[in-house]
Structure 1
Amino acid sequence: MFKIGIIGAGGIAEHMAETVAGMKNAKIHGIASRDIFKANAFAEKYHIPRAFGSYEDMVKDPELDLVYIATPHSHHAEHAELCIRNKKNVLCEKAFTMNAAQAKKLVALAKKNKVYLAEAIWTRYMPSRAAVTKLMDSGIIGEVRYLTANLSYSMANKERIVKPELAGGALLDLGVYCLNFAFMFFGNKVAKIDSSAKLSKKGVDENESMTVYFKDGRVAYLTSAMNARSDRKGIIWGEKGYIVVENINNPNAINVYNAEDKLIKSVKLPEQITGYEYQIIEAMKMIKAGKLESESMPLSETVFVMQTMDKLRKDWGVVFPQEKKL
């Protein structure tokens, strides 16, 4: 049985606990929170054998095969480093770190310590990704010209997204999905990016628009926001029609339309527990094979996405308090 520990006992951690509870070959072995009462309540709710009142105590548990980091973006680097230095394999929530410098440091540290390290950007691991790629390669919509993608939720009441000290803002929480959607299907050969953002009074991005120009001539138009609800669609546009991905955050349908807007194909996606299981399945596979990174989300791609977001934030003037101290 593959044993997983979770750092952080918030909503995302609960989602992972629910996921693993539905898997046959994995289980949550430990939950760690700075608040032991919170850890105990979480462990009782999800029938987890061990609860820890410190992250340091949990990563010393010799039974753990993998640690999933579910804390705010601002703390990902610190908690991942703690795991790596204790020789623990790591699956870290997106955005992977606060910036690219932190990401590069973790990648080097994981390589030195010979542990698995991957970003938990779940859409990279889902079957929907291969399904969309297959449709594009089939020529069903002809030559692909551009794509559009949006992801917005009304989240302005959540601390982790509004506070600069928690590396808040729409980009690292929502825009990261739009960028990954573009890079999954158009690659990472980017010529330039034009963008604009509206900042909050606290100095984080409330919403943004990004136009990504690729070296092969294709273009991606991306939008995200923390203060509105969008339709979350990703659409890939070709000369003969278009592919619509319903909800780029967790695709539930893929439909293909011709140039007359007639539905010509629908792809049925497999039933899932929550969608989080695919990143765990890959982690299990890679770790058992002795691999140190994901095939679906290589560390070089994680660093590339972080570098892209660093550049965007620089253009907008978004600097987190921790970065001002550097």
Structure 2
Amino acid sequence: MTTPLTSPAPDPMSAPAYRWGILGAGGIARKLADAVTNHTASEVVAVAAGSSLERAQAFADEMSIPKAYGSYEELVADPDIDIVYVATTHNNHHGPALLAIEAGKHLLLEKPFTQNSKQAKLVVDAARAKGVFVMEAIWSRHLPHIYAMREVIARGDIGDVVSVAADHGQYLPHVERMVRPELAGGAMLDLGIYPVQFAHDVLGMPESITAVGRLRDTGVDGQISMILDYPSKNAQASLTTTMEARTPVVAHVAGSKGRIELADMFYAPTVMTVTPLDGTPWTFDGTVENGFQYQAAEVARRVAAGEKESPLLTLDQSLELMAILDEVRAQAGVVLPND
């Protein structure tokens, strides 16, 4: 049994076409470039990889991008670019973001928005002063199964939400950037943001936060567990993250009339199952190729409409998420350079 949905995720190919430039040339940049090129009407026209023109050119050749630049400054100055995607390491999101904003470019800023709240406020203030569109790149918020989940909750299928749970664990201690504090490594900023943003999507800003964690010998967090409490909503969220094991990476939302379960890799395109207390369970298959095209299309639609933020993830909501991450890391004893 499948219950019809009235508000599905919009078709990415229906969004207006824009010209994208990418700052960064790693795996996440590659995924966005593929999504824009092959799954939207837009195109990627330029890439920059820090000060390495050679690396940028190699990326451009691989992804069939017309232009490669030897610096971020050169790319954001290109008048042929409408939207910039920042895909740098976590410690260096705000710097390139501010460059793009100052150049008057609309911006998709890879999660986490910045390393901390202080940097996040700089970006938000700059965006609002310049009048450009800026959105944090949390692709989950735009995916078909998350659209479906929000509709199921909104129409009361599972009643009042009581419990949210999500975990995200990947075995990554061999990945250099994950263990280096100067690159803002650790589980929380890279992996833990997904459970946190999931709870925030469903329940909003918590009224209190309790977190415990374990640090690795470099000082980054290897594992953190969190309880977000919402006493005024009679709800709690139980969240975990680790970079030391591959966990099930599943999530659920349980309510007074039933529950929603999101399958493995809950934050990526996957299957949603709705189980009523009284009734027949049904599923929604949200699997699609890539998935980054949905957030890229959301940027294009909002820019075309003259909007400066997306209601799916406003700048104030990104500030709230960063405040949660800051508090969790503080309680776990994580202190990184630039904090």
TM-score band by shorter chain is over 0.9
Letter of the aligned partner of 2:244 in structure 1?
A: N
SS at match of 1:194: strand
Residues 115/142 of structure 1: CA separation in 2 closer, same or farther (3 Å cut): closer
Larger displacement relative to structure 2 (204-213 or 134-143): 134-143
2:311 aligned with 1:287, yes or no?
A: no
How far, CA to CA, are the matches of 1:272 and 1:182 in structure 2?
23
Unaligned runs of 5+ in 1: none
The 5 A counterparts of 1:154-169 are: 154-169=171-186
How far, CA to CA, are the matches of 2:35 and 2:316 in structure 1?
27
How far, CA to CA, are the matches of 2:98 and 2:217 in structure 1?
32
SS at match of 1:18: helix
Letter of the aligned partner of 1:21 in structure 2?
A: T
Q: Residues 269 and 288 of structure 2 are in contact (CA less than 8 Å); yes or no, is this contact kept in structure 1? A: no
SS at match of 1:322: coil
Structure of greater relative contact order (alpha carbons < 8 Å, 6+ residues apart): 2
SS at match of 2:79: coil
SS at match of 1:14: helix
Letter of the aligned partner of 2:315 in structure 1?
A: L
**1:257 equivalent in structure 2:** 275
The 5 A counterparts of 1:76-95 are: 76-95=93-112
How far, CA to CA, are the matches of 1:23 and 1:251 in structure 2?
14
Deviations 1:121-152 (A, max 9, x none): 10112222221122223443343321110011
Deviations 1:251-280 (A, max 9, x none): 4100123459x96111132x5331101111
How far, CA to CA, are the matches of 2:146 and 2:72 in structure 1?
34
**2:61 equivalent in structure 1:** 44
TM-score, length-scaled by structure 2? 0.90
Deviations 1:169-226 (A, max 9, x none): 11111111101110111122x2211110011111111011000101311000000111
How far, CA to CA, are the matches of 1:155 and 1:94 in structure 2?
18
Displacement of 1:240: 4.0
Letter of the aligned partner of 1:226 in structure 2?
A: M
The 5 A counterparts of 1:243-322 are: 243-246=260-263, 247-259=265-277, 264-269=281-286, 272-322=288-338
TM-score, length-scaled by structure 1? 0.94
SS at match of 2:208: strand
Residues 47/243 of structure 1: CA separation in 2 closer, same or farther (3 Å cut): same
Displacement of 1:52: 0.7
How far, CA to CA, are the matches of 2:304 and 2:65 in structure 1?
23
Q: Residues 76 and 97 of structure 1 are in contact (CA less than 8 Å); yes or no, is this contact kept in structure 2? A: yes
**1:174 equivalent in structure 2:** 191
Residues 209/53 of structure 1: CA separation in 2 closer, same or farther (3 Å cut): same
Q: Residues 210 and 331 of structure 2 are in contact (CA less than 8 Å); yes or no, is this contact kept in structure 1? A: no
How far, CA to CA, are the matches of 1:142 and 1:318 in structure 2?
38
2:66 aligned with 1:66, yes or no?
A: no
How far, CA to CA, are the matches of 1:290 and 1:84 in structure 2?
16
How far, CA to CA, are the matches of 2:179 and 2:280 in structure 1?
40
The 5 A counterparts of 1:73-222 are: 73-188=90-205, 190-214=206-230, 215-222=232-239
Unaligned runs of 5+ in 2: 1-16
Letter of the aligned partner of 2:323 in structure 1?
A: Q
**Paired residues, number:** 320
